[in-house]
Structure 1
Amino acid sequence: MARDIKQIQQTILSAKAQAVELSPLEVLIDQEQTLADVSSTSKVAIWRLWVWVIAFAQFVQEQYWDTFKKEMEKRIAESRIHTPKWYREKALNFMFGVPLVPETDYYDLTGLSNAQISGARIVANAASIRVVQNGYGTLRLKVVRLVDGEYSPLTPEQVTALDVYFNQNIADAGTLVKITTGEADLLKIRLNIHYDALVLNADGSRSDGTDQTPVINQIKQYLKSIDFENGKLVLQHLEDRLKEVPGVKIADVIAAYSKYGIYDYLTTDVQNVGIIQQIRIADAGYMKLDENELLINYIPYSE
């Protein structure tokens, strides 16, 4: 890692102090008579200025080496055997409506504006998972886009283009990439909230009128904070986040359920569907609160 200029100067100064050959100075020629005494302790002595110049030059050189090292590490990483992480990165770099350079896995961006490039990169998040289907290994790639700032499924046309991008152009021979996109898994939850009556009302709103649904808003924020790439909903973590809401003394999850696709909350024989014991990974990669199935009991807290 590149040193800062002070560190480099200190190294030079320490070396100068220890260099005994610099003590008995040779006789100066006429042109050198104008130089300040190199033993001067003045901060503006010529020799000190030269130390700073050399230190700065060395600092710039080390910065270049750091940049060079990062570039080499990036190239090495990009040339590695294609891992699930590599497929995820490729999904995020996918550009809808832009052709690849023939026989390559990259685009020619010549003539495209930053706005056009940004607009073509439709995949907002992705997660790659190894799965076994019918005895064969498959790489499942879960993808979403952003619509009005919220995760949403890709359109059928976008899914088709992404499938061609992977399975006909860049995926390793023998690797089948299954593209999936869908609506968020839904969370049905029942809570007991013990609240401070000086801060919250009986309906959960703030007494000062600044927020009508602080508990519900906190649940939504927690769900948004869960990492898309195989992030986990943890009920204990949700309770901890709810206790951060001003006025909430105790947050107790009584029951929680999730569902996706055609399944129901009470399904118990399908992975990631039904009753949540403590941890749940969303099948779609993200989860939303089902406010139609939300039940919160607000209980005044007493010491």
Structure 2
Amino acid sequence: MARTIEDISQGIKKSFVENATLAEAYNLQAGLTFDEQFSALSIEAALVFIVSSAIWTLESLWDIFRSDTEKHIEESYTTSIPWYYQKALEFQLGDDLIFDAAKYAYAYKDIDTDKRIVKYVAIREVKTENGVMFLKFYYSGENKAAIPTEHRSAFEQYIKLIGAAGMHYEFVTQDPDPIRIKLRIYYNPLLLDDTGVRLSGGGMPVKEAIESYLNTIAYGGVFYASKLVDRIQQAEGVKDVELISETWNGSTSLQRKIEAISGAFILDFHSEDITYNVELDELE
């Protein structure tokens, strides 16, 4: 990791005052630091800063190069999670795989991005109680919709062919999990009406905030109640938020976090799930 310019400068300054030749040339006093003997506006101080900045730039470039190299190695490493992720997105519906004897790997003869129907992928390493390790693939198409039934076996066979021999897989492709959110909103009546509609321009800021949060959850990610509340707090006209419950997977409760069965969520909106209240003494 690149050192700071200040750290580099201090190292140069220390070496400067400890150098016998420079000490004699500048008539430096032993025991005093560089900053105690040179003005911050001196040519020597300016040169130290310039050299330190150049060294910092070089070290920063090394960091970037190292990071890019490590990322490339990780993504290129056959059967690593990043490798599987990239290969899943490269699946081409209707095309056969050709075995490359030189590389001991399967590949498509021609690349056709129009045939790539898998748009979202998440992969998890899972271990059973018996100690058997397998990879769980969540995958879906446009708008995170489930891949049609007639196309699933082709994708699953593709993964098994290109993947590691002996590896076990589980595949999940479903439409996003519906989730109902019940809220009590305290709002500014200068900006919203009592149904949550924006007085200027229309639209429902709270509903929009919920949908925005659900859409920004990474595919295969986790719903966090606290992050939802934070997003709603930022919505236009909202003074305060009380999260009452979530209805998901057939049950209603107040959960801190939820992991989607399908890998994604979609709002199951019912207007009666959100009540709007005004507290006049809190108006700004």
Q: Would you call these one fold, judging by a TM-score over 0.5? A: yes
Aligned-partner SS, 2:122: strand
For 1:188 and 1:49, how far apart are their aligned partners in 2? 63
Contact kept in structure 2, 1:127 and 1:228, CA below 8 Å: no
Alignment of 1:1-303 (within 5 A): 1-3=1-3, 11-12=11-12, 14-22=14-22, 43=43, 56=54, 62=59, 65-66=62-63, 69-70=66-67, 73-74=70-71, 86-87=80-81, 89-93=83-87, 94-97=89-92, 102=100, 103-104=103-104, 120=116, 122-128=118-124, 130=126, 132=128, 138-145=134-141, 147=142, 150-156=143-149, 159-170=152-163, 172-207=164-199, 209-234=200-225, 236-258=226-248, 272-278=249-255, 279-291=257-269, 295-303=273-281
Say if 1:239 and 1:51 are closer, same or farther in 2 by CA, change over 3 A.
Answer: closer
What TM-score comes out, normalization by structure 1 length? 0.63
Q: Which has the higher helix share?
A: 2
Structure-2 change in CA distance of 1:123 and 1:87 (3 Å):
farther
Give the drift of 1:248.
2.6
Distance 1:88 1:233, change over 3 A: farther
Q: Count residues with an aligned counterpart.
A: 258
Q: 1:4 to 1:192 in 2, by over 3 A?
A: closer
Note the C-alpha offset of 1:231: 0.8
- Spell out, residue by residue over 1:110-150, the C-alpha distance to the aligned partner (whole angstroms, 9 max, x if none): x97xxx669859433414252659996543211234x3xx3
Query: What are the ranges of 5 or more consecutive residues in structure 1 without an aligned counterpart?
Result: 26-40, 259-271
Deviations 1:173-232, CA, capped at 9 Å, x for gaps? 33211222111111233333332322211221122x134211111111121233333413
SS of match in other structure, 1:229: coil
Determine the C-alpha separation between the residues in 2 that align with 1:18 and 1:117.
63
- CA-to-aligned-CA distance 1:254-283 (integer Å, 9 cap, x gap): 44312xxxxxxxxxxxxx442233142211
Over the residues paired in the alignment, what is the CA RMSD in angstroms? 4.5
TM-score computed with the length of structure 2 as normaliser: 0.66
Structure 1 residues 92-101 or 276-285, which shifts more? 92-101
Worse overlay, 193-202 or 293-302: 293-302
Q: 1:125·1:144 contact (CA, 8 Å) conserved in 2?
A: yes
1:50-83 CA distance string (max 9 Å, x none): 9967984x5676456545644664477569896x
- Partner SS state of residue 215, structure 1: helix
Does the CA-based 8 Å contact 2:126-2:136 persist in structure 1? Answer: yes
Distance 1:198 1:62 in 2: 54
Distance 1:273 1:67, change over 3 A: same
**Is the 1:127–1:285 Cα contact (8 Å) retained in structure 2?**
no
For 1:55 and 1:299, locate their aligned partners in 2 and report how far apart those are by CA, in whole Å. 56
Q: Which amino acid aligns with 1:95?
A: E
